[in-house]
Amino acid sequence: MMKMDWKKGLLLPDARVRESMKTIGQLENIFLNEEARRALDQNTVVYRVQAWCPVPDGTEGAQFWGTTEIAQGQVDSEYFMTHGHFHLKRNRTEYYGTTEGEGALILMDETRRTWMEPMFPGSLHFIPPSVAHRVANSGKVPLRLVACWPSDAGHDYDAVRRFGFGARLLSVHGKPSLVRSET
Task: By CB under 5 A, name the binding residues for Ni ion.
Answer: 94
- Give yes or no for residue 144 binding ligand PA5 (CB under 6 A): no
Q: In what order do the strands lie in the sheet with 103-108?
A: 114-119, 103-108, 132-137
Per the rule left: phi > 0, alpha: psi between -120 and 50, beta: everything else, 29 is: left
- Beta-carbon neighbour count of residue 5 at 10 Å? 12
| Cβ proximity to Ni ion, 90 vs 112, nearer residue | 90
Nearer to Ni ion, 106 or 170 (CB): 106
What is the four-CA torsion angle of 96, 97, 99, 102, rounded to 10 degrees? 70
**Coil, helix or strand at residue 37:** helix
By CB under 6 A, is residue 166 in contact with ligand PA5? no
Minimal distance, residue 70 CB to ligand PA5, in Å: 8
Using the contact rule CB under 6 A, the part of the chain among 7-15, 77-85, 118-126, 172-180 near ligand PA5 is 77-85
Q: Determine which residue in the list 80, 86, 149, 165 makes contact with ligand PA5, applying CB under 6 A.
A: 149
Region of 31-39, 80-88, 99-107, 115-123 interacting with ligand PA5 (CB under 6 A): 80-88
Q: Is 137 in the site for ligand PA5 (CB under 6 A)?
A: no
Q: Should residue 85 be labelled a site residue for ligand PA5 when binding is judged by CB under 6 A?
A: yes
Binding part of the chain for ligand PA5, among 1-9, 81-89, 116-124, 164-172 by CB under 6 A, reads 81-89
Task: Find out whether 106 and 84 touch, Cβ atoms under 8 Å.
Answer: yes
C-alpha distances (whole Å) from 125 to each of 69, 95, 98, 139, 145 are 16, 6, 9, 18, 10
49 binds ligand PA5 (CB under 6 A): yes
| Residue 90 binds to ligand PA5 (criterion: CB under 6 A) | no
| Helix ranges restricted to H, the chain | 34-39, 158-163
Closest C-alpha to 20, from 57, 45, 54: 45
Which residues make up the interface to ligand PA5 (CB under 6 A)? 49, 66, 68, 82-85, 94, 133-134, 147, 149, 155
